[in-house]
Amino acid sequence: MHNNELGYEIAALAHYALEKGLIAREDLTWAKNRIANLIGEPGCPHYEGEIEALPQFPQTLLDKLTARAADNGIEGLDSIVHRDIFDTELMAVLTPRPSEVIGKFNALMEKDPEAATDWYYDLSRATNYIRAERCAKDLRWSVDSPYGKINISVNLSKPEKDPKAIAAARFVKKTTFPPCALCCENEGYGGTLTTAARGNHRIIPITLGGEQWYLQYSPYVYYNEHCICLSGEHRPMAVSRAGFERLLDFVDLFPHYFVGSNADLPIVGGSILTHDHFQGGRAVFPMELAPVEREYSVPGCPEVSLGIVKWPLSVIRLESENRAKLASLAEKILSAWRGYSDPDRAILAQTEDTPHNTITPIARIKNGKYQLDLVLRNNRTTDERPLGLFHPAPDRHHIKKENIGLIEVMGLAVLPARLKAELARIEECLLDDRDRFYEIPELEPHTEWYRSLCERRDITPKNCTAILRDEAGKIFAACLEDCGVFTVTPDGREGFDKFIRSVIG
Measured at the alpha carbon of residue 173, what is the angle toward residues 167 and 174, in degrees to the nearest 5?
Answer: 105
Q: Which residues contact 438 (CB under 8 A, 6 or more apart)?
A: 447
Using alpha carbons, select from 312, 362, 361 the residue that is nearest to residue 337. 361
| R_g (Cα) of the chain, nearest Å | 25
pLDDT band at 141, cuts 50/70/90?
Answer: very high
**Can you say whether the dihedral through the CA atoms of 170, 175, 177, 179 is positive or negative?**
positive
Lowest mean pLDDT of 162-166, 254-258, 276-280, 366-370, name the range. 162-166
DSSP 387-420: T-TTS--GGGTTT--S---HHHHTTEEEE-THHH
Coil, strand or helix: which one is 218? coil
Mean pLDDT for the stretch of residues 211-227 = 97
Lowest mean pLDDT among 89-98, 170-179, 300-309, 447-456: 170-179
DSSP state of 441: G
Report the share of the chain in percent with pLDDT over 70. Answer: 96
Burial of 170 (0-12, 13-18, 19+ CB in 10 A): exposed
**The pLDDT value given to residue 172:** 56
Average pLDDT over residues 30-40: 96
This model's pTM is above 0.75:
yes
| Residue 362 exposed, middle or buried by CB count within 10 Å (0-12, 13-18, 19+) | buried
pLDDT above 60: residue 500: yes
Contact 295, 306 (CB under 8 A): yes
pLDDT mean across residues, the chain: 95
The pLDDT of residue 1 is: 47
Pairing of strands 258-260, 211-217: unpaired
Q: What is the DSSP letter of 97?
A: P
Residue pLDDT, tens place only, 288-344: 999 999 999 999 999 999 999 999 999 999 999 999 999 999 999 999 999 999 999
Whether the pLDDT of residue 492 is over 90: the answer is yes
Question: CA 484 to CA 335: how far, in whole Å?
Answer: 19
- Residue 15 confidence (pLDDT) above 60: yes
Pairing of strands 412-415, 148-154: parallel
pLDDT classification of 162: cutoffs 50, 70, 90: low
- Per-residue DSSP letter, 455: T
DSSP 18-50: HHTTSS-GGGHHHHHHHHHHHTT-SSPPP--S-
pLDDT at 246: 98
